Structure formats: C-alpha cells, structure tokens
C-alpha cells in the first residue's frame, strides 16, 4: 500500500518507498560510485533502516524522498525528493540514482517534479541541495535546475565530518524558471 502521493512524469513514477524497494535500495548503496556522496557503501541491514526512516518520514513529517520507478520497465531506479530530517540545513530536494539510470535525464525530470511538489503542495519557500564539493554531476544538475551556491553547511550527526556546499533557490525563483 502506497502512503502518500504518486507523481507521474513522462518517463517516471515517483511514489513513497515500499518494502518491496529494499533490493533496489541495496543495489544503490552497494555501488561505490552511486553511493559515494549519499552515505557511502552500506550493508543490507543499514539500508533497511534507511528505507524505514524514509518511509517513516512520510508518516511523521508528511513528506520524504520518493522511490523512482522507470515507467518503461517498472524497475526501481533510485530515490529523490523532499528531505528534511531533524537538524538538516534546510528544506532539501535531493537525489540518488542507480549508475545504470544516470546520464539519461531522469534525475532532472524527477527532481523538477519533486520541486514542483515541494513548492506547490508542501509550501517550501526555499529549496536546497546539499552537495559534496567533489560531486560535479550533482552540482551540474543543481545548476541546470536553476540553483546556485548559497552557503556551506556542516552535516548534522550522525553524519561524520562532512561539509556540504548548499545550492538552492527560492520558491519564487523556481516558479519563475519553470514557467519559461
């Protein structure tokens, strides 16, 4: 049972994570390249807890990241969307896709839909993206979405010794951009 909205884009279905997504989450977090900037390699038990955290945030916060399903195959290809755990440096829309799904415009397509949702439904007044300064593809995507570097932020516990570049924009800037 899906608890929360389902958003469709031309090529993707975004929906709250389900238990059946565990194998996809595990594949993402077992891929050194894909996991490098989203928590690093993790064993199945840790990935299960992350899946439960994201699912639980739908109940506690009313939002969380979506599972990303490729329409043409029905395959789970990543997770993206609104994210703001306790102590987070702002109202984020983040992303993480399987290596096999990268470079195909899926992150931009899904993040755009998630940003619309965050602004129009959740009422976010600012959207940020917490990005490791060495993560050139995510910086490029943030800039493609119209975000710019706003500041630096130290990740909250339990994330160890991480400083992010925080990219972002206001809701009004996003609304103006998406109308172009």
What percent helix, strand, coil does the chain show, rounded to 5? 40, 25, 35
- Dihedrals φ, ψ of 137, to 5°? -60, -40
Task: Read off the pLDDT of residues 128-167 as tens digits, 9 standing for 90 and up.
Answer: 999 999 999 999 999 999 999 999 999 998 887 899 999 9
Q: What pLDDT shows up at residue 29?
A: 97
Domains parsed from the chain with CATH numbers: 7-178 (3.40.630.30)
Low-confidence residues in the chain, pLDDT < 70 = 1-2, 179-180
Q: What is the pTM of this model?
A: 0.95
Q: What pLDDT shows up at residue 179?
A: 55
């Amino acid at each position: 049972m899906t608890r929360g909205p389902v958003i469709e884009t031309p090529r993707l279905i975004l929906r709250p994570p389900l238990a059946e997504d565990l194998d996809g989450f595990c594949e993402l977090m077992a891929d050194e390249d894909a996991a490098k900037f989203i928590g690093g390699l993790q064993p199945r038990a840790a990935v299960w807890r992350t899946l439960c955290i994201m699912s639980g945030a739908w109940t506690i916060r009313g939002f969380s990241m979506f599972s990303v399903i490729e329409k043409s195959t029905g395959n789970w290809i990543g997770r993206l969307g609104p994210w703001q755990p306790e102590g987070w440096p702002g109202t984020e829309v983040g992303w993480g896709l399987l290596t096999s799904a990268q470079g195909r415009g899926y992150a931009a397509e899904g993040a755009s839909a998630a940003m619309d949702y965050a602004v129009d439904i959740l009422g976010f007044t600012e959207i940020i993206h917490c990005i490791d300064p060495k993560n050139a593809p995510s910086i490029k995507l943030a800039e493609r979405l119209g975000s710019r570097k706003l500041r630096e932020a130290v990740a909250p516990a339990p994330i160890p010794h991480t400083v992010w570049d925080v990219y972002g924009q206001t809701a009004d800037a996003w609304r103006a951009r998406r109308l172009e």
